[in-house]
């Protein structure tokens, strides 16, 4: 199966988010990646559940919600109710990762864990059977348009071995471009988040931009 592309609306026009989401949906996006930032876990602030709920009316594509908030447990239900289908928490942002994952599964949603570039894979070893997705950060989270960190390529190969035959998506996020995408695909990713590489030019170019990433 070909790699999934999850455009990050962080790089979209925030004054026209509904139209931007419809545009990437029609251009062939597999998932819609929602970057939620709190100005505490990461040095930037974006949006919360009300914006997600409003966007829900604009597409039926899977909402891939990347929570960069600490703590996260108290907000999981609100994001589930707002329409997120898949909720990813950072291992570094929750004291009881297993509990956070149980909450997400209890809400009937797919559960993911994100790891910063410097965070070892050991963090997920004992929660693998609760996971639908592992999100390996290929930049330090907080901003779009940053440079890809090449050390994560080896981490992708290692997480693929760790997962084995479990049906867990391997997603990467940050610095995905036409230069880095082929290496990531070869290493074994099943989904790639892309912000600036998708939302460049006008909406008529989004399909071409995504096709270029798929290779
Ligand atoms: C960064 C976010 C990413 C970001 C990626 O903290 O999690 O999703 O939007 O942006 P690009 O693709 O421009 O590196
Ligand atoms: Zn993200």
CATH code where residue 130 lies: 3.20.20.70
Radius of gyration of the chain (CA): 16
In DSSP terms, 114 is beta-bridged to 90, 135
177 CA closest ligand 1 atom index: 12
- Ligand 2 is an ion; residues with CB less than 5 A from it: 35, 66, 173
- Per-residue burial over 144-180, b if 16 or more Cβ lie within 10 Å, else e, is beeebbeebbebbeebbebbeeeebbbbbbbbbeeeb
What does the pLDDT read at residue 128? 98
What does the pLDDT read at residue 69? 98
Q: Is 35 a catalytic residue?
A: yes
CB count in 10 Å sphere of residue 15 = 7
Closest CA to 6 of 215, 167, 210: 210
Task: Give CA–CA dist 35/28, Å, rounded.
Answer: 20
**pTM for this entry:** 0.98
Contact status, residue 142 vs residue 37, Cβ threshold 8 Å: yes
CB count in 10 Å sphere of residue 215 = 11
Q: Containing domain of residue 129, as a range? A: 4-214
Distance 41 CA to ligand 1 centre (A): 15
What does the pLDDT read at residue 67? 99
And the tokens for 210? 């995504």
Distance 5 CA to ligand 1 centre (A): 13
What does the pLDDT read at residue 1? 73
Q: Is 38 a catalytic residue?
A: no
Total number of domains constituting the chain: 1
pLDDT, one tens digit for every residue, the chain (215 residues): 799 999 999 999 999 999 999 999 999 999 999 999 999 999 999 999 999 999 999 999 999 999 999 999 999 999 999 999 999 999 999 999 999 999 999 999 999 999 999 999 999 999 999 999 999 999 999 999 999 999 999 999 999 999 999 999 999 999 999 999 999 999 999 999 999 999 999 999 999 999 999 99
């Amino acid at each position: 199966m070909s790699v999934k592309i999850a455009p990050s609306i962080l790089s979209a026009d925030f004054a026209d988010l509904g139209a931007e989401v419809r545009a990437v949906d029609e251009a062939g996006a597999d998932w819609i990646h929602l970057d939620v930032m709190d100005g505490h876990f990461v040095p930037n602030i974006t949006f919360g559940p009300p914006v997600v709920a409003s966007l829900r009316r604009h597409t039926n594509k899977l909402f891939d919600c990347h929570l960069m908030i600490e703590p996260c447990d108290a907000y999981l239900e609100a994001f589930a109710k707002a329409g997120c289908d898949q909720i990813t928490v950072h291992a570094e942002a929750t004291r009881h990762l297993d509990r956070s994952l149980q909450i997400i599964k209890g809400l009937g949603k797919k559960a993911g864990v994100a790891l910063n570039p410097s965070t070892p894979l050991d963090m997920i070893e004992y929660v693998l059977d609760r996971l639908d997705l592992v999100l390996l950060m290929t930049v330090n989270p907080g901003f779009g348009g940053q440079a890809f960190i090449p050390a994560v390529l080896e981490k992708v190969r290692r997480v693929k071995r760790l997962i084995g035959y479990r049906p867990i998506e391997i997603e990467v996020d940050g610095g995905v471009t036409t230069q880095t995408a082929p290496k990531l695909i070869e290493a074994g990713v099943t989904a790639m988040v892309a912000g600036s590489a998708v939302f460049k030019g006008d909406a008529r170019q989004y399909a071409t931009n995504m096709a270029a990433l798929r290779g």
